[in-house]
Amino acid sequence: MSRESSLEERALVVGGRPLIPGLGEVILEAPRLARELRPGQFLMARVSPWQDPLLGRPLGVSAVRGSQITLMVAALGRGSRALLALRPGAEVTLRGPLGTPFPPPAQAPLVLAGGGFGVAPLMYAWDELRAGRGEVPTVVLGVPDGSWAPLERLVAHRVGKHLRVFSDDGSLGERGTPCDALEGAGEVWACGPPAMIRAMARCAPPEMRLLVNLDQRMGCGYGGCLGCTVPTVRGPVRACVEGPFFDARDVDWGALEELEGRS
């Protein structure tokens, strides 16, 4: 067996907009990726034709519309800022689809829990699940406070009544965190910052299937460099091939905590 098609292509920026300070959307004309990328998979984007920054940046896809894909990008460092600064007409090199798609849901009801911009890939998953025959899942959005209202409006616009919002201080939606939405769920797909993911893994009952994102720094994205491994009960496993979403029961949480430098 071998890959059929190419993995990299030039894509044209066709639009985008800021959402809140430090977070924005970028829309790209990328016909091949729009066709091939399944929910749960990701891509790597490389903005600079120069050698610095050198590596592509891993990003999820929040929407696919025809031949266009939407990225939701948080401005963290040079790569993400460069991506957000692009104007329509600019070109980006995209590598993908990368990673393993979400499996079919196994246990109803399904909840998609996003922490901040971690909701992005879950919105694309929600679109596809709604288009399918199964039950429409609930989307849970957890944010720090009311300053995230523009993101809440964006998600609400997409998923309507299927949205539940939690904020740490109660200034948007209910007071609480996505953990508070675990009750009654049969299966949860969670995507967010490490602290949220760890909290979800702690409060999920053992019989629940909880899929979590474990984001790592990535070099190649295609399984070659072994730079992105996460500790699992089966030993180190690549986030870019076997992930980026993992069954929380397979993760070696102690080793992961050390990796994230919080021990």
Partner 1 sequence: MRKRSVQTRVGGVILDSPLIVASGVWPLERDLWPREPLPFVGAACTKGITLEPREGNPGVRLWETPAGVLNSVGLQNGGVRSFVERDLPEMAREGVPLVANVAPLTEEDFDPLFGALEAGAEHLAAVELNLSCPNVACGGAAWGVTAKGVSRAVALARSRWRGPLWVKLTPQAADLGATARAAEDRGADAVVVANTWLGMAFDVERHRPALARVVGGLSGPAIFPLALRCVWDVAGSVSIPVVGCGGVTTGNDVISMLLAGASAVEVGTALMADLGAAKAMMEAVEGHLERFGLDTISSLVGAGRRA
Ligand X SMILES: Cc1cc2nc3c(=O)[nH]c(=O)nc-3n(C[C@H](O)[C@H](O)[C@H](O)COP(=O)(O)OP(=O)(O)OC[C@H]3O[C@@H](n4cnc5c(N)ncnc54)[C@H](O)[C@@H]3O)c2cc1C
Ligand Y SMILES: Cc1cc2nc3c(=O)[nH]c(=O)nc-3n(C[C@H](O)[C@H](O)[C@H](O)COP(=O)(O)O)c2cc1C
Residues found near partner 1 in the complex (CB under 8 A): 1-3, 5-8, 46, 51-56, 93, 95, 217-220, 222-229, 231, 235-236, 241, 255, 258-259, 261
Please give the residues from 64 up to 83 whose contact with ligand X meets the rule CB under 6 A. 72-74, 76-80
- Give the up-direction half-sphere exposure of residue 153: CA atoms within 13 A in the CB hemisphere: 7
Taking the C-alpha atoms of residue 222 and residue 43, their distance in angstroms, rounded to an integer, is 10
Shortest CB 223 distance to ligand Y, Å: 12
CA 109, chain centre distance (Å): 21
Minimum distance from CB of 64 to ligand X (Å)?
14
- Among positive and negative, which fits the CA dihedral 239, 207, 198, 212? positive
CA nearest to 45, candidates 117, 95, 100, 98: 95
For ligand Y, the closer CB: 101 or 219: 219
Shorter beta-carbon distance to partner 1: residue 120 or 237: 237
Judged by CB under 6 A, which of 17, 35, 217, 262 binds ligand X? 217
> What is the rounded CA–CA span in Å between residue 59 and residue 121?
9
Give, to the nearest 10 degrees, the angle between helix 120-131 and helix 149-159. Answer: 10
How near is the Cβ of 233 to ligand Y at its closest, in Å?
A: 25
Sole binder of ligand X in the list 244, 246, 251, 256 (CB under 6 A):
244
Token pair for residue 7?
Answer: 């993995």
Positions touching ligand FES (CB under 6 A) are 218-221, 223-228, 238, 240
d(CA 178, CA 77): 27
70, two tokens: 């939407």
Lookup: tokens for 238? 């690549």
Shortest Cβ 209–ligand Y spacing (Å): 33
One residue of 215, 222, 238, 246 binding ligand X per CB under 6 A: 215
User: Which CB, 35 or 217, lies closer to ligand Y?
Assistant: 217
Q: Which residues bind ligand X (CB under 6 A)?
A: 42, 53, 57-60, 72-74, 76-80, 117, 120, 215-218, 244
